[in-house]
Amino acid sequence: MTASTACDGKLAKWLGDRVPALAPPLRSRRIGAGQSNVTVLLTDAAGTEWILRRPPLADGGSAAHGVHREARILHALAGTAVPVPEVVATGVDEAGIDGPFAVMARARGIPLAEEHDATALTASERMWLATDVVAVLAELHALNPDEIGLADLGSRDNYVARQIRRMVRNWRTWGEDSAADPAWRACRARLEANVPEQHDVVLAHGDFRLANLLVAEGRVTAVLDWELCTLGDPLADLAWLVDDWRAPDEPAIAMPSPTRAGGFADRTELIADYVTRTGRDVGSLDYYRAFTHWKAATLLQGVLLRRRAGELGEHGAPDLTELERTIRYLLDEALELAG
């Protein structure tokens, strides 16, 4: 986190016009360690808080950082059983901000991004949390995209195959000359040869893990970071969650996992609960876990290149050596899971 600073008066006026109860002055502080959209906490003199989201300044309009698309998804989910922040307003090139941005109310709760964040939870809350996280994911996957106005959010078929093609394009730019390239290619070959049939089309979050949830008293109070959301395969979401849900005896990597602090339900319990709630066959889950390991390694290779180029600054910037070690670890695990 960076120190709080006074906001430009234009932003305070812009937000005040939309939130009459705002008490100036308005102060801002960047929060979170994500490498995608920039997240800024806004606080007025009365202590009321909002979240401002915008793409990185060097983004150049990438669809992956579409804050207005994310705001549309949040609007669609409002009133469903999936808890999300309330969108206050969106803008483009106004309020003293260049480019698109969105402002939402600050939802109650805290994110669990690192192991030490788990200290905020009691032993009972750690056990309850697994049940609530799975319940929210099951509710998300039970929604009909057509009924909430998101029928056109993405293609309905071949989610994993489409994701593989996208990662291949990225790797051509990020990793072809890297030390990880042979393992990456070996894993790609196994994944492409064994893509499972997609049985369901759901609203897939794309990055469903504890770091992107707000939690209070062992319950999920809001699901955040919807920029990767699309129509997709529910087992890819489940695999991403259980891969992040790591046990204390698993090694620490550049992608922190708060469950390594201990006291949480284990992966087997999460998976069994999801099956009970959804009735889905998860017999191919090892394939999806191999895919998500491989996808994470690909995305981290992009982070590694941007980190080396100094494009990430110092905010949340991961260690280069740790990134390289994590990429290799993820690929080795992917190969093992892919069989």
Average model confidence (pLDDT) across the chain: 92
- Give the pLDDT score at 35: 53
Whether pLDDT at 3 is above 70 = no
CATH architecture of 5-105: 2-Layer Sandwich (3.30)
Q: Taking residues 132-151, report their average pLDDT.
A: 97
Tell me: the pLDDT tens digits for 75-102? Answer: 999 999 999 999 999 999 999 999 999 9
Q: How confident is the model at residue 36 (pLDDT cuts 50, 70, 90)?
A: low
Burial class (CB in 10 A: 0-12, 13-18, 19+), 263: middle
Q: 3-state SS string over 151-215? A: CCCCCCCCHHHHHHHHHHHHHHHHCCCCCCHHHHHHHHHHHHHCCCCCCCCEEECCCCCHHHEEE
* Alpha-carbon gap, residue 25 to 9, rounded angstroms: 8
Amino acid at 73: I
Whether pLDDT at 57 is above 80 = no
What are the structure tokens assigned to 147, written together? Answer: 């009924």
Burial class (CB in 10 A: 0-12, 13-18, 19+), 321: exposed
Q: How confident is the model at residue 155 (pLDDT cuts 50, 70, 90)?
A: very high
Q: How many CB atoms lie under 10 A from the CB of residue 194?
A: 13
37-65 b/e with 16+ CB inside 10 Å = b?
bbbbbbbbeeeeebbbbbbbeebeeeeeb
Q: Which residue has the tokens 């996208």?
A: 166
Q: What angle do CA 129, 226, 218 make, to 5 degrees?
A: 15
For the chain, what are the domain ranges?
A: 5-105, 110-338
CATH value of 110-338 in 3.50.30.10, 3.90.1200.10, 3.65.10.10, 3.40.50.970: 3.90.1200.10
Whether pLDDT at 175 is above 50 = yes
pTM of the model: 0.92
Tell me: the pLDDT tens digits for 262-313? Answer: 999 999 999 999 999 999 999 999 999 999 999 999 999 999 998 888 776 6
Q: Taking residues 46-56, report their average pLDDT.
A: 93
CA separation, residue 229 to residues 66, 110, 194, 237, 330 (Å): 11, 21, 24, 10, 23
Q: Taking residues 147-151, report their average pLDDT.
A: 97
- Give the pLDDT score at 315: 53
Tell me: the pLDDT tens digits for 226-266? Answer: 999 999 999 999 999 999 999 999 999 999 999 999 999 99
